[in-house]
Amino acid sequence: MHLKFVIQYDGTNFSGSQLQSEARGRTVQGELEKALERLAGQPVRATLAGRTDTGVHALGQVASLDFPERPRLDRPAALQKALNGILPDDLAVTQAEEAPKGFHARFSARMRCYRYLLWHSRAPRPLVSRYSLHVPRSLDIEAMGEALARLQGTHDLAAFAGQGMGVPSREEDDSDKPGTVRTVYLARLLRLDSEAGFWTWQAPGVEHDKGWRGEDDGTLLAVDLVANAFLPQMIRTIVGTLLEVGYGKLQPDDVERIIQSRERKQAGPTAKPHGLCLLWVSYEEL
């Protein structure tokens, strides 16, 4: 069977999503493939739609794979049930279905959506601290929303890429480097209702209010980004840059300057990973 899985995981105790040596820690792909091999009696390779770093979570990660014929595991639902019975508690298959022969979790994807949560309050909140970055300082929320909106569209986003991607070399010809042009379909800042689920895409929320500077204590903010693809550490660098805007160290117009520079040092620091979650992957054009 050629299958499509939607998987959910708490990334706190994972060393990222992609398979690597066991000495470097457990991974989402490693745990999934280990469980698949146990049921199949042979190695089964799974491909993930997106790479998530150490500590990053996922509500709607997607995997594609081929599972051999096995008694009582010849239906997606049966395999899903069996997998969830042996997978660790921080990883689960939430949907399973047969996929067309040419379906590929990564290369067939058209859009990916990530959400980064900020808990803006003088005091931390332990029940949300696992999935959000605590920001006790005063923030200019309106300026942050204006800065974020400047990312929509097609841009060379090398300045927001980590791991050396997009950093201009001394040589003029950098054609051998990975491309850093991405299309951002949606970039928005929301204040979430305290009763809403953290990762619910249609959760109650309102766009940032004009003139509201975040002086009220206890606000859960969501930075939502939908794009065709993302560069390494791109979202976390964007969030770090937005916080610099919120602190008044940068202005919203500086985002355009940073984009044009293509220099990582022009952007803000990389935000911590635990506030980031892959919400969903779409295989249809917007």
Query: Which residues, 6 or more positions from 212, have their beta carbon under 8 angstroms from its beta carbon?
Result: 141, 142
Give me the phi and psi of 91, to 5 degrees please: -145, 135
Q: What integer pLDDT is reported at residue 225 of this predicted model? A: 98
Q: When comparing pLDDT for 261 and 164, which is higher?
A: 261
Output DSSP code: residue 170.
Answer: S
Q: What integer pLDDT is reported at residue 168 of this predicted model? A: 43
Residue of 10, 53, 224, 254 marked active site: 53
Q: Can you tell me the distance from the alpha carbon of 122 to that of 124, in angstroms, rounded to the nearest whole number?
A: 7
Q: What integer pLDDT is reported at residue 169 of this predicted model? A: 37
> In Å, what is the CA distance from 242 to each residue of 10, 11, 22, 193, 264?
25, 23, 36, 21, 14
Burial of 209 (0-12, 13-18, 19+ CB in 10 A): exposed
Q: What integer pLDDT is reported at residue 285 of this predicted model? A: 55
What stretch(es) of the chain map to CATH 3.30.70.660? 111-282
Burial of 151 (0-12, 13-18, 19+ CB in 10 A): buried
Q: Is 53 tagged catalytic?
A: yes
pLDDT digits (tens, 9 = 90+) for 44-59: 999 999 999 999 999 9
What's the mean pLDDT when you consider all of the chain? 89
CB 239 within 8 A of CB 116: yes
Q: What integer pLDDT is reported at residue 228 of this predicted model? A: 94
If we measure between CA atoms, which residue out of 54, 244, 267, 211 comes closest to residue 135?
A: 244
What stretch(es) of the chain map to CATH 3.30.70.580? 2-98
For 2-98, CATH number? 3.30.70.580
Q: Can you tell me the distance from the alpha carbon of 256 to that of 120, in angstroms, rounded to the nearest whole number?
A: 26
130: which 2 tokens? Answer: 């696992």
Class of domain 111-282: alpha beta
pLDDT digits (tens, 9 = 90+) for 196-230: 666 677 666 655 554 444 445 589 999 999 999 99
